[in-house]
Each structure stands twice: as C-alpha cells, then as structure tokens.
Amino acid sequence: MDNFVRKLLRLGILVAFLLVVVLSWNKWQAPPTTPPPEEEQGELESWRQSLSESDLDLLARVVRAESEGEPYDGQVAVAAVILNRVTHPEFPNTIPGVVYEPLAFSVVANGTVNKPANASALQAAHAALNGLDPSGGALYFYNPAKTRSTWIRSRSVLKTIGKHIFAS
C-alpha cells in the first residue's frame, strides 16, 4: 500500500508540474493585447465626435435595407462601403450625401431605407465606424442576382460576402 501511495503522489506531482508548464506555455504564446496606436484612436474618436445620431441612424437603416438576411460580415461591409465613399474624393463627404446621391442605392429609390434599423444593422454600423472593413476597401457592392448593370459588373471584384460582391 505504501508503494501505491508513493506512486500516486509522484503522479500527482508530475500532473501538477505539467499543468503549470502548459498554462505558462499558453500564456507565453498568446499575442500581446495592445491598444491601437494614438493616430488610430484619434481617427476612431473623430468618427464618434462628428457623427450625429441621425447620420448613425441613416447608416444603420441603409445597412438593414441593403443587407438584411446577409451574414454579419456582409452587413459591416455594406456600412464600410458607405464610409469608404465618404472619405473618397469622388463621392460626397457626408453619410447623407453618399446615401442620397442620385441612383446610388436602390433602397433609397424604393423607400426601403425608411424602415427602422434592426439591432444587427446598428451593431454593424458601429463596427464599421470603429474601423472594421470586411470589404477590403471597396467603394461599391452589388448582388449579381439583382442587377443587370454592365457598369457595376465591370468593376474590379475585391471580395464576395454572402450574396454581395464588393468591388473597387
């Protein structure tokens, strides 16, 4: 019996040692969590500071209207496209300017943009405003099953998310 207890004690010590090694290894391997550089923080804060509630609501309503039923990444990508246009010199420099630009979004023409945003669309709008861009910097998106425009189909494809193609 003494021999059995000694073996059990040695096994317990060995298991405890291995557990400490594994936990230490995992902690050592984990990437460090660092806040974004000061310049990125400034950009994020500038969005938050200069964006009105009505602009956020409009962005979220467009996201819902254009990407309802799409994966969350697709919803964030739709919001990112609008924000990419806001900062691009060939487009208006405000969210309403981009959204209400003539013929830019079919959801404006058909009135779907006037329906309230849902929680997912609002969350996607916030994610895009905070710098997430699954579109890869796209300025355009379209659903190939819903458009016949040869012009939009001629744009360089960057990514496909759900049923949308994101292009530059």
- Predicted confidence band at 8 (pLDDT cuts at 50, 70, 90)? low
| Residue 17 pLDDT class (50, 70, 90 cuts) | low
**What is residue 20's predicted lDDT score, i.e. its pLDDT?**
56
User: DSSP letters along 50-87, please?
Assistant: H--HHHHHHHHHHHHHHHTTS-HHHHHHHHHHHHHHHT
pLDDT of residue 35: 43
pLDDT of residue 51: 81
**Residue matched to tokens 């400034």:** 42
* Tens-digit pLDDT profile for residues 68-87: 999 999 999 999 999 999 99
User: Rounded CA gap, 111 and 97, in Å?
Assistant: 17
Contact 168, 81 (CB under 8 A): no
**Does 69 or 36 have the greater pLDDT score?**
69
pLDDT of residue 12: 64
Q: Where are the beta strands (DSSP E) in the chain?
A: 140-142, 157-161, 164-167
pLDDT in tens, 91-126: 999 999 999 999 899 999 999 999 999 999 999 999
Q: Are 160 and 134 in contact (CB under 8 A)?
A: no
